[in-house]
Amino acid sequence: MRVVLSVDMEGVSQLRAPCEILAARPEYWQTGKPAFEADTAAAARGLLDGGASEVIVLDNHGSGNPLNVSAECLPEGARLATWDVFDLPAKQVDAMLQVGYHSRGGGVGFISHTYVPGLRLRVDGEPISESHGRAWAGQAPLIGIVGNDHHERTLGSLESTPFLRVQRTAANGRAEPVFDVADGLDAIRAFAATAIRRVAEVPPPAGPADAVFEASMPNGADHAEPLEAAGWERTGDVEYRARLAHWSDARSLLAAAMNAAIAPLLPYWDSATTAEQAAALDPARVQRLGTIIDAWCAHEHPDWYTAPAAELDVDV
């Protein structure tokens, strides 16, 4: 049985601060990446315990991708891949487990967002999360989700999916572990093993059909041309809409919306694939990125895209 383990970082069990998810920051290398790898490895072991013959790990976290998770941390029987979730229907996948998932954009929750900062997505009026988008794209039974407490509370049409809360929201910019380290990893492993044993009871997600797909972003007025070229129809100053026959039709639309929403961050964006590369980055630029991300997470400034650093009263 081939199982996809779709991993994201913001909902990892032992994270506490936004700086831990940015590969440009030392905190990522000291605590963030090790915690991400530990949760991923625990889930992979659980899937194998429960009968999976192969576990394919898809790293869905942007900063540090595709090396957030190292092959060395995975047990035998699990491997990394860079497949796009929209290609999973052709990969003969039997199930999907999601680990490290966070609440959707526009809601409450530690580092709440949908794919990129500022983006809001709705399908037939339902605000959706990355759990929705990746489950619908993969078309394999979603056997469980591990992550943030507020994500569990806002799953909407996915609310029947088994969920393990490993992270508690203290504030939008601060999290607390539900378990200590050892107990949390044991809980993830046991949850994954139970989830895969019940795969026969879980139907593939239906996904949208003949649906209205809507997107909005703070800078939507600045990107009308590329968004419309991708198939979006502008319906307001920063709002867009498209019609989907199936969720697979959302692939190019989603890419265009993500590119538009992330554009204001790109002048400050720095990443790294080793701790040494991170240490060599421009400290002022890294601090500026951290300030912006902290302000966005805390929802403390409506113009976090463009405000001068002095106006973003955030401790970095």
Per-residue pLDDT reduced to its tens digit, 234-273: 999 999 999 999 999 999 999 999 999 999 888 888 888 8
Tokens representing residue 195 in the block: 């989830």
* Cα 93 from Cα 173, distance rounded (Å): 35
- The most distant pair of C-alpha atoms in the chain lies apart, rounded to whole Å, by 55
Average the pLDDT over 67-83 and give the result.
Answer: 96
- Range with the poorest average pLDDT among 15-24, 168-177, 302-311: 302-311
Q: Given a cut of 60, is residue 312 above it in pLDDT?
A: no
Specify the fold of 2-113+129-201.
Answer: Rossmann fold (3.40.50)
- Residue 59 DSSP SS3: strand
pTM of this structure: 0.94
Average the pLDDT over 203-211 and give the result.
Answer: 94
Q: Given a cut of 90, is residue 310 above it in pLDDT?
A: no
Residue recorded with tokens 């709705």: 122
Q: Give ranges for CATH 3.40.50.10780 in the chain.
A: 2-113+129-201
Bond from prior residue into 283 cis (ω within 30 degrees of 0): no
Nearest to 93 by CA among 141, 136, 128, 129: 141
* Cα 169 from Cα 151, distance rounded (Å): 10
Residue recorded with tokens 């999973």: 88
* Cα 145 from Cα 188, distance rounded (Å): 10
- Residue 173 DSSP SS3: coil
